[in-house]
A and B are shown apart, each in its own frame.
Chain A
Amino acid sequence: AQSVSQHNHHVILSEAASLELGCNYSYGGTVNLFWYVQYPGQHLQLLLKYFSGDPLVKGIKGFEAEFIKSKFSFNLRKPSVQWSDTAEYFCAVKGDDKIIFGKGTRLHILP
C-alpha cells in the first residue's frame, strides 16, 4: 500500500526566503505524485503533479518539485516566498485508484 510522509509539520519563514518542504513516499509500482495547497478557509487546490517525464515539475505560483526516484522523494520548492503563500501544503501519492495524502505542512509567512 502507498504511504506519504511529510517531515515538516509547521514552517515559519520571512517573505523572500527560500522554501523547501520535504515529502517521501512508499509504493512498489508506478506512482503519480502531487502537491496540493489549502489556503485558509478554502478547498484543496492542485499546485503541481508528476506522472512521467522530466522529474523537475513546475507548478502554479512559482512552485516546483523534483521527483527523485532513488530517494522516493518529491520535495516542493519555491525560491522566494510571499505572504500570500501562507497555507497548508499536502504531498500526495496515487498508486492505485485513490490518492493518499501526507499529514500536511502548515506554512506561515511573516510579512
Chain B
Amino acid sequence: EPEVTQTPSHQVTQMGQEVILRCVPISNHLYFYWYRQILGQKVEFLVSFYNNEISEKSEIFDDQFSVERPDGSNFTLKIRSTKLEDSAMYFCASRSTLDQGQGAKGYTFGSGTRLTVV
C-alpha cells in the first residue's frame, strides 16, 4: 500500500536554529498538509498546499514557517528560527482529490517527525 514517507523520524535542534522537515507524499496525490501534535495535546492543522501554493493556514503557521515542493516529489516544512514551543510531532499528509463524495479516502498520514528543540 502506498505510504507517505517522512524524514528524519527524530530531530533535535538548538533554539534559534533552522530546521527542515521532509515528506514524500504518495506519488499521484495533489493536496498536501502539515499537522503537528504537541506532547499530550491534540493534533492541530498547520497548512494545506495545492498547485504549488498555500491553500489555507492556521494561526499557528506564522512567518517562521514555510512550505515548499521543490522538485515535484518532496514536500518540506521549514521552521526558520525554532523556539522551545515548536517541540512536537509533525505529521505530513497527502490526498488525491478534493471530491467530497470520497471524503478522505485518499487522506494518508506519514509516520511523523519528532522535533525536539533544546
Contact = CB atoms under 8 A, between A and B. Distances in A.
Q: Is the interface of B mostly helix, strand, loop or mixed?
A: mixed
Interface of B: 31, 33, 35, 41-45, 48, 55-56, 91, 98, 100-105, 107, 109-112
B111 A98 contact: no
B65 to A, nearest CB: 15
Contacts of B105: 49
Interface in A66-111: 90, 92, 94, 96-104
A97 B31 contact: yes
Interface of A: 30, 32, 34, 42-46, 49, 51-52, 90, 92, 94, 96-104
B42 A42 contact: no
Nearest to B46: A98
Nearest to A98: B45
Given A51-B101, A98-B33, A98-B48, A43 B41 contact: no
